[in-house]
Amino acid sequence: MATFAIDADPRLTATDMTRIVELVYRKSGITLHDGKRALVVARLQKRLRALGLPTFAAYVDHVERDATGSEIVALLDAIATNHTYFFREDAHFTFLRTRIAAAHGGAGRPLEIWSAACSTGEEPYSIAITLLGLPSPIEFSILASDLSTRALAAAGAGVYKQSALGDVPRDILRAWFERGLGPQEGLARIAAPVRRCVTFRQLNLLELGELRDSYDVIFCRNVMIYFDRAVQQRVVSALERRLRPGGHLLISHSESLNGVAHSLRWVAPAIYQRGNH
């Protein structure tokens, strides 16, 4: 077997960068701008070392030959930015509590929710805490998905630094978080009743053919900002097909469906509803 002397600092050529940009776009819809060049170098050098590959070109060849698909997931994990926090854009949780949950109370079945880009779990756990805290509890289920296996592992563990929870109201911290002691000092874990409400699953928003279910509510926030118009159209169409009649799609306040073809009705900032038919 051939062996290589691995350069301590392999150079990312313009051709390498172009191939990586095209590969990431094709597999995830994410557009990597040239300003991300330093990030690509820093993050992917670790993969080169782990695999014993001498150049970025050899790495891209390896990703494209990998029939298992595991290395493209590792690549996307490496470059993903998973920045989020609990109760982000809190007007959405107010709407969920006062409008959606209140209207669903007499439906006779659980409210089914999909957190379609859940990152490290703050969003689906915020949804669960909101619904568990209702004066008149309702049945619900939450599917939380993400492309990143690394983010999903963190989400499933449900452990967060206490320093990142400063904006979470104290009554919620007391009711729904477990404070770490001893070796876990400085950490907090989502309480078991909240964790049990959420099912985590790896899903690619560009490859939803296997997702046959439909949902009353879909949260898909702070992900379409990474897509160009063509990918936004593809994703919104896929999400709309998976909304039940009367169901709601929630996007980020920094995002817009302007220029994207859909049949949804605007009902509040960054909240859209499918018709009843």
**90-137 pLDDT, tens per residue?**
999 999 999 999 999 777 899 999 999 999 999 999 999 999 999 988
34: helix, strand or coil: helix
| Mean pLDDT within 235-261 | 95
Same fold, 14-79 and 91-273: no
**Greatest CA separation found in the chain?**
67
Residue 38 confidence (pLDDT) above 80: yes
Q: Pick the residue with more confidence: 10 or 169?
A: 169
The helix (H) or strand (E) run that includes residue 143 is strand 140-146
Cα 264 to Cα 93, 126, 219, 241, 247: the distances in Å are: 20, 25, 14, 11, 10
Give the integer Cα–Cα distance in Å for 138 and 158. 23
**127-181 pLDDT, tens per residue?**
999 999 999 889 999 999 998 888 999 999 999 999 989 899 999 999 999 999 8
Q: String of b and e for 210-234 (b: at least 16 CB within 10 Å)?
A: ebeeebbbbbbbbbbebbeeebbbb
Topology of domain 91-273, CATH? Rossmann fold (3.40.50)
- The dotted CATH code for 14-79 is 1.10.155.10
Q: Which residues are catalytic?
A: 43, 146
Residue 253 confidence (pLDDT) above 70: yes
What pLDDT, on the 0 to 100 scale, is given for residue 8? 56
Q: What percent of the chain has pLDDT over 90?
A: 70
Cα 222 to Cα 38, 116, 177, 213: the distances in Å are: 23, 10, 25, 23
Q: Pick the residue with more confidence: 3 or 191?
A: 191
The answer to whether the predicted template modeling score (pTM) of the entire model surpasses 0.85 is yes
Domain ranges of the chain: 14-79, 91-273
Give the integer Cα–Cα distance in Å for 195 and 155. 9
